[in-house]
Amino acid sequence: MEFYGLVRKKLAVDSAVGLGVETLLFALGYLGYRVIVGEGTFIFGTGSQLLLLAAGGLVTVFPLVCFAAAALRLSLTALDFFQYLAPSITFGLAIFVYGEPFRSSQTVTFGCIWLALVIFSVEGLYHRRQYSRNKRAT
Q: What tens digit of pLDDT does each residue of 39-56 get?
A: 877 777 788 888 888 898
Count CA within 13 A, CB hemisphere, residue 75. Answer: 3
Q: Mean pLDDT over all residues of the chain?
A: 83
pTM: 0.48
CA distance 73 to 37: 45
> Pick the residue with more confidence: 6 or 130?
130
Q: What is the pLDDT of residue 125?
A: 87
> Pick the residue with more confidence: 9 or 34?
34
